[in-house]
């Protein structure tokens, strides 16, 4: 689905990532770890075409990213749901409308998907907050809304960038449970995190591969996690 071959990425005259070869296969579950500044967010951006590698190849669903035009990239991104670290919303729109935004951007009539939207809002536990505005949400509610928005288009892959970084442990576990449920539905999941407790909790329920960015490369982490 997503393949990286001998990928490197340089920024500001320095190499941030180097010689990365990795395949995210259908239905797989990955954690991506590493210290702040190691390049986790950059790696995720390479995985959905937001960045183009300075060396090597990234193939998204069989197509090399450099060969894709802007419209092609937009179509590819419908197959990849991204939960961004900063959870940005349009504050003048209710939560349900924010979650449904990808439908509008893709030219679909939201009225045709009202039942799906209600079901999705219930799945993330936000039906009672559907008419609230983003500034009224707690940190955990914002993260769950971000996850709902990321999967409204039923993507094949979900990439989550530090999704539990600003919420308590109870809410982190709830969000993790939702991501595990998506994986059991056949979705490919990658979670960038520095929280080893979250990884340990997940490994009790799902076969997860743990990757670590170290010295600019992505390596398989030790089994002691």
| pLDDT tens column, 92-119 | 999 999 999 988 887 776 566 788 889 8
Domains of the chain and any CATH numbers:
25-50+69-220 (3.40.50.300)
What is the C-alpha to C-alpha distance for residues 117 and 96, in angstroms, rounded to an integer?
A: 8
pLDDT at residue 181, as a whole number: 92
Residue with tokens 């449920």: 181
What is the C-alpha to C-alpha distance for residues 175 and 179, in angstroms, rounded to an integer?
A: 6
What is the C-alpha to C-alpha distance for residues 80 and 85, in angstroms, rounded to an integer?
A: 16
SS3 215: coil
Contact 131, 97 (CB under 8 A): no
pLDDT at residue 73, as a whole number: 84
Q: What is the pTM of this model?
A: 0.91
Q: Is the pLDDT score of 222 beyond 60?
A: no
8-16: long-range pairs with CB below 8 Å, 24+: 8/53, 8/54, 8/55, 8/56, 9/39, 9/42, 9/46, 9/51, 9/53, 9/54, 10/54, 11/42, 15/216, 16/42, 16/216
pLDDT digits (tens, 9 = 90+) for 138-183: 988 998 999 999 999 889 999 999 988 878 888 888 889 989 999 9
As a whole number of Å, the CA-based R_g of the chain is 17
| Mean pLDDT computed over 204-216 | 91
């Amino acid at each position: 689905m997503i393949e990286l071959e001998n990928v490197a990425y340089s920024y500001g005259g320095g190499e941030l990532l180097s010689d990365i070869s990795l395949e995210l296969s259908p239905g797989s579950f990955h954690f991506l770890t590493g210290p702040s500044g190691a390049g986790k967010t950059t790696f995720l951006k390479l995985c959905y075409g937001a960045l183009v590698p300075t060396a090597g190849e990234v193939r998204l669903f069989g197509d090399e990213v450099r060969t894709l035009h802007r419209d092609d990239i937009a179509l590819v991104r419908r197959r990849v749901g991204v939960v961004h670290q900063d959870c940005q919303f349009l504050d003048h729109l209710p939560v349900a409308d924010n979650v449904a935004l990808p439908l509008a951007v893709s030219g679909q009539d939201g009225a045709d998907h009202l039942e799906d939207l209600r079901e999705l809002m219930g799945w993330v536990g936000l039906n009672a907050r559907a008419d609230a505005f983003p500034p009224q949400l707690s940190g955990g509610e914002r993260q769950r809304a971000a996850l709902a928005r990321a999967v409204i288009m039923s993507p094949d892959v979900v990439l989550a960038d530090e999704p539990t970084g600003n919420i308590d442990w109870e809410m982190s576990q709830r969000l993790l449970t939702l991501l595990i449920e998506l994986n059991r539905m056949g979705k490919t999941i990658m979670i960038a995190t520095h929280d080893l407790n979250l990884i340990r909790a997940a490994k009790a329920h799902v076969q997860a591969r743990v990757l670590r960015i170290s010295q600019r490369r992505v390596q398989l982490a030790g089994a002691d996690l």
